[in-house]
Amino acid sequence: MKILYGINGEGLGHLNRSRLIIEQLKLSGHEVIKVCPQHLKQDDFIPINNINLSFKDGKVDKEKVIIDYIEFNFKNQIKLIHSYGINPDLVITDFEPVTARYARYYDIPILSIDNQHRFRKIDLKLPPRYLSYNIFLSLLLKVFIGRVDKSIVTCFHPIKDACNVICENGKVTDDGSTVVYLKDPYTKIFVKNNLVGDFCVFTNLKYKDTKNIKFYPLDKVSFKDRIRSCHSVISNAGNQIIGECLYYNKAITCVPIKGQTEQEINSFYLKKFGFGVSSNIDSLIINKNTPNINPENGLYQVMRELNEWIK
């Protein structure tokens, strides 16, 4: 089967899980063509434009994000994909809207594998402000992604009919260090805090190493290897990174992006289930307690469900 696979370019979570699924699909004999933004620097892929999060005063600039979405030229991007003459049998999207529209435009079966589709279901146990946002996201999915023939959800916290977060297997060690993976505005604040400890900061910002901080560019060093060998992680509250920390038994400190309510909801669940600590970047409290919950790798769950649907 020829599969077109769309990968969202915001953060590394979408890419990390998509890469592992694509590897399994290829091992099963399928031909997979990746579609993703240029900055992800993939091999053998179709580069498209992306709708990025914009920040203002350390918060998500929601007005600009909405304007960028309204002004985004989906038709040109669909034409670009079509110009490659692929004619896929199936489209899979990891919260990537262009490939979703491409599938509907050319009447191709479409499947989504992401964590965002968990918000289709309303969790009535959420606090009121998060509950209203849950309802909003359930409607937003219909606009951003639209109709899909099937959705497979990966999620770090227990939820009915969802798979665990997809992780890469490998040797897990503990060298006592803390990996820091934050959005640029948060990285700048973290560096100024002069915290005590052994830190590995992943960023494309230009810094020189200090006595206790080593800086690594995201495109040159194996991020996943450092995650498996550290003791603890400080990151924004993305679903994928939290799930990877739980799978590798790493202490997690989450710093939700201001204005991104989805991350605040992730932080709520993180604290609810006792998986880690949520903190403010300006007065950072670093969690050193490992979760020790040993979840199943969601990769196998997803592939079982995906292969059954493809049949």
DSSP 116-177: GGGGGS--TTS-HHHHHHHHHHHHHHHHHT---SEEEEB-SS--TT-BPPP---------S-
146 dihedral zone (left: phi>0; alpha: psi -120 to 50; beta): left
Whether 20 is covered by a domain: the verdict is yes
Same domain, 70 and 154: yes
Same domain, 201 and 66: no
Task: Collect all residues with Cβ–Cβ distance below 8 Å to 202 and sequence separation of at least 6.
Answer: 179, 180, 181, 215, 216, 217, 218, 221, 223, 226
CA 36 vs. chain centroid, Å, equals 14
Same domain, 41 and 116: yes
Q: What pLDDT does 292 receive? A: 86
Same domain, 9 and 40: yes
Q: Which residue has the tokens 């799930």?
A: 243
Q: What pLDDT does 194 receive? A: 87
Complete DSSP assignment for 205-244: S-----SSEEEE-TTTS-HHHHHHH-SEEEE---HHHHHH
Angle at 186 between CA 227 and CA 133, to 5 degrees: 90
Same domain, 28 and 137: yes
Q: Which of 171, 121, 167 is nearest to 141 (CA)?
A: 121
Same domain, 151 and 275: no
Same domain, 117 and 203: no
Same domain, 10 and 98: yes
CATH number for the domain that contains residue 229: 3.40.50.2000
Do residues 106 and 86 touch, judged by C-beta distance below 8 A?
no
Domain count for the chain: 2
Whether 191 is covered by a domain: the verdict is yes
Q: What pLDDT does 137 receive? A: 87
Whether 171 is covered by a domain: the verdict is no
Whether 59 is covered by a domain: the verdict is yes
Q: What pLDDT does 150 receive? A: 95
Same domain, 194 and 48: no
Token representation of residue 303 = 């592939």
Whether 125 is covered by a domain: the verdict is yes
Same domain, 83 and 199: no
pTM of the predicted protein model: 0.86
Task: Collect all residues with Cβ–Cβ distance below 8 Å to 39 and sequence separation of at least 6.
Answer: 9, 50
- Cα separation, 29 vs 248, in Å, equals 29
Same domain, 121 and 149: yes
With H, G, I as helix, E, B as strand and everything else as coil, classify residue 288. Answer: coil
pLDDT digits (tens), the chain, 311 positions:
999 999 998 777 899 899 999 999 999 999 999 999 988 877 889 999 887 766 666 566 667 777 877 788 999 999 999 999 999 999 999 999 999 999 999 999 999 999 999 999 999 999 998 999 899 889 888 888 999 999 999 999 999 899 999 999 999 999 999 999 999 999 999 999 889 999 999 998 999 999 999 999 887 668 889 999 999 999 999 999 999 999 999 999 999 998 888 899 999 999 999 999 999 999 999 999 999 898 999 999 999 999 999 87
Same domain, 212 and 160: no
Containing domain of residue 57, as a range?
Answer: 2-166+298-310
